[in-house]
Amino acid sequence: MCSFRGARVFIAIAVILQLATASVAGGQATGQHGDEHPAFDCTDDGLTRQGSTGFGCQLLAKYDVPAFPDAPLFWHVTNFPTRDAAESAKRQIAFVVDAASRIWLYTFGPKDAAPKLGRAIASVGPLQLPSAKSYEVVAYFVVMPAGASTGAHTHPGPEAWYVLAGAQCLETPAGVMHRAAGESMVAPPNTPMDLINPGPAIRRALFIVIHDASRPWGSSSDWKPSGGCGR
């Protein structure tokens, strides 16, 4: 994990506050924002592009899947000491990513399909899949400052998170969900949403979206959040 002290913190927050224009980049939608929360720009090269701020998104993988099993689908997150160990533990639908200075094996299948090796971190689901001829899994690592918001957006498939540090609040038309470090969250397909880091800590999280491979994985939304995650 990256740490931020002294003047670097103030510089980082100042940069984020300048991101007031809605955008869609790398498939991630950033919707409209009011005055309550500064916009959070999540793009494929975000952590690199924003340089010393350390805030943004890091694309970990885009993984094509012809079909998933018929059983309820779960995202199994397992930690390994080395990439070789993670690669050797792969079974069926799985891939290895490197995020937050750790090696992770992502496995997709029924609830009992978690790898037997490695350190089991979470089994997230069930994930409601849209009908599609083939699928793509996009996987990201995100570092988000306190008070920032993604803005209203939607995905054509389920989105799932595992929070590594800090907290997150997700508002959808169905209500508000809060999660803290060590917890997971799922949003169904085609659901307007706004995700906020309520603070006070920096939020670090892993997230995935599974979507129809023929469609972009995210788009902005005209839906107006009620402010249930705080103003």
Q: Which of 29-33, 143-147, 198-202, 219-223 has the lowest mean pLDDT?
A: 29-33
177, two tokens: 């969900």
Q: In the structure, how many helices (H) and strands (E) does the chain have? A: 3, 16
Integer-rounded Cα radius of gyration of the chain? 17
> What pLDDT shows up at residue 222?
95
Q: Which of 3-7, 135-139, 151-155 has the lowest mean pLDDT?
A: 3-7
> What pLDDT shows up at residue 171?
97
177-204 confidence digits (pLDDT tens): 999 999 999 999 999 999 999 999 999 9
Q: What is the mean pLDDT of residues 122-131?
A: 96
- Quick one: which of 51, 57, 49, 48 has its CA closest to 29? 57
- Quick one: which of 149, 231, 131, 123 has its CA closest to 189? 131
Tell me 161's DSSP state.
E
3-state secondary structure of 51: helix
125, two tokens: 């689901």
pLDDT band at 98 (very low <50, low <70, confident <90, very high): very high
Mean pLDDT, the chain, whole residue set: 84
> What pLDDT shows up at residue 38?
74
Q: Does 121 have pLDDT greater than 90?
A: yes
Q: Does 25 have pLDDT greater than 70?
A: no
Fold of the CATH domain 7-216: Jelly Rolls (2.60.120)
> What pLDDT shows up at residue 66?
96
pLDDT band at 49 (very low <50, low <70, confident <90, very high): low
5, two tokens: 């002290």
Q: Does 15 have pLDDT greater than 60?
A: no
> What pLDDT shows up at residue 53?
59
The half-sphere exposure of 200 on its side-chain side, counting CA atoms within 13 A, is 0
> What pLDDT shows up at residue 46?
59
What percentage of the chain has pLDDT greater than the value 90?
72
Q: Which of 49-58, 166-175, 206-215 has the lowest mean pLDDT?
A: 49-58
Q: What is the mean pLDDT of residues 171-182?
A: 97
